[in-house]
Amino acid sequence: MNDYMTEYERWLASDALSDAEKSELKALRGSDDELKSRFSGALGFGTGGLRAEMSIGSARMNVYTVARASAGLADYIKAHGREKDGVVIAYDSRINSRLFAETTAAVLAGEGVKVYFFEDIRPTPVLSYSVRRLKCAAGVNITASHNPKEYNGYKVYWDDGAQLSLEQADEVSAAINRRPVPVKYPLTFEKALSSGLIIEVGADIDEPYIDCVLAQAVDKNAIPSAADALDVVYTPLHGTGRLLVPEVLRRTGLKKLHTVSEQMVPDGTFPTVKSPNPENAPAFTLGIKLAEEKGADLVVATDPDADRVGIAARDKSGEFRLLTGNQTGAILLDYILTAYEKTNTMPKDGYVVKTIVTSEFASKICASHSVPIYSVLTGFKFIGEVIKKHEEAGHGTFLFGFEESYGYLKGTYARDKDSVVATLLICEAASYYRMRGMTLCDALDELYEKYGYFREEVANIAITGAGNMERMAALMNSLRATPPAEIAGSPVVAVRDYLYDTITDTATGAVKPTGLPRSDVLYYETLCGDVTVVRPSGTEPKVKLYFLCSGKTAAEAAARASATHEFAESYVRALIK
């Protein structure tokens, strides 16, 4: 019998499963591909925790895989003597998020770990903040971010409010793998709550969190001064931003705020959008429709767990233009640094952090303002690590951090991207430019004129079929064995291999370290200054390609990005076995 069939039969025979769950599995008998997908191995715990489609099976998100992860996390916490410090648990509006959160709480409590539990849905950054506020050992957030409705996930944070480091994730994964699945744990959420083993939290966290967010305004007079002129539409896309984002904006003095009523309702089926992703234009359809009705200048959308934010702003023609994560980041970065300078409040030891796949536009802006910028591996936890190192060293003021995937943070109250503070800053920047007779699109065009034109693109290559994780690893090994000599006609002058901590000069063969943690990422720099980055996804069976290009004109930058994209994607696809 195949391994996945053995696992299938084991689950089917388990006393842990309900009759309905067993019926679901029995109905799949003979559906070989589906059984292979559900039972070929365990759901892996990576640097982003767990994430998968929801259904019964060892490789899917369900109460049993969630309970197993929670039991393993409990073992890790107890091994460090931190069970009395506790774990705080939050969840978003997705299908089963509350159920998975209650399962997590019950298992942790049953294992002797103190538990704090949010009484209702909350944004991811609130969870990150609450870990620090409550001085917990860890935090768990049940969310699959902006993935489609079929998915859910399990993110783990450590005591600094950042997601687990690579080493911690490996240790937690090992602890999880020592726990059996499926198992039905005896303590229920209701019993643990009534027994005082679980402590509910909510408004007592919200208010100090809001205070921290409001404190990040660079110029507190910006929004009030434009309050009669600036008109903003906001949508949480059926997610957790529905309460805190509007509340924060109202407290800043924003008067003309309109919300998309259909999307203010928390709903894990996301009925008004195909995908609740603020990176995608269709997510803005209702928001732009309302903005046209109200004559608004700006549309802001946050994803279901409110850690990412996207915007659409009017251009010179009056039409709405969607800005990319890199473009919004550049606008915010330049605004923050400029506002500090204008108000004479720029910290002397200020610094900025971005990821290696984020536009070099940010580096140009920082250089112009004489502010150092650090580049880190993909993932906001690495931005958090830079903040932590500066705090431990006793110097350095964190000014701003962002990544191309629509994530931004100002302030050190949290250690993950925060769409709530980002929305405040977006509206503050929009107010500043509105008083100058400009939109955010005008501001972006002005930055391009000053610094040159930047264009970034992303490609996702799905690795489908059996053994997809092994095939991803084989692809990366093939790239190392046969690196491209040129990309889109421009010679490759340097190759960074973060897995082996090397930067190789292709002309001289000289090698130096990257200075960053080891990670399976390849980074190619060409003679014309363009960059191509290849890395496997940490949560899905796909390889991500990033293209960072620039030019003297918008047309030149776009042409270079298109040519780089076409060549590199074709090159990589040809190596897939």
Q: Which residues are catalytic?
A: 145
DSSP 259-303: E-GGGSS--TT-TT-SS--TTSGGGGHHHHHHHHHHT-SEEEEE-
Cα 374 from Cα 383, distance rounded (Å): 9
Sheet order of strands, 350-355 included: 373-376, 350-355, 397-403, 407-409
SS3 of residue 506 by DSSP: coil
CB-based contact 453:550 (threshold 8 Å) = yes
Cβ partners under 8 Å of residue 7, min gap 6:
39, 40, 58
Cα–Cα–Cα angle for 14, 16, 22, rounded to 5 degrees: 65
Q: How far apart are CA 525 and CA 294, in angstroms?
A: 46
Q: CB–CB of 183/16 below 8 Å?
A: yes
Encoded tokens for 329: 């980041």
**Length of the chain, please?**
577
Neighbours of 199 (CB within 10 A): 14
Residue 243: closest CA among 259, 224, 232: 259
Nearest CA-CA partner of 429 in 218, 241, 251, 252: 218
Q: Are 103 and 63 in contact (CB under 8 A)?
A: yes
Residue 230 and residue 249: Cα distance in Å, rounded? 12
SS3 488: coil
Tell which residue, 25, 21, 45, 20, has the closest CA to residue 35: 25
Q: Which amino acid is at 426?
A: I
| Gap between the Cα atoms of 105 and 97, Å rounded | 12
Rounded distance between C-alpha atoms, residue 330 and residue 64, angstroms? 43
In sequence order, the 6+-apart residues with CB closer than 8 A to the CB of 168 are 158
Asked whether the bond before 266 is cis by omega within 30 degrees of 0, the reply is no
Rounded Cα distance between 231 and 577, Å, is 52
Cα dist from 427 to 214, 218, 275, 291, 534, whole Å:
12, 12, 25, 15, 34
Helix (H) or strand (E) holding 403: strand 397-403
How many whole angstroms separate alpha carbon 163 and alpha carbon 227?
37
The Cα 259–Cα 528 span in angstroms is 45
Which amino acid is it at 375?
S
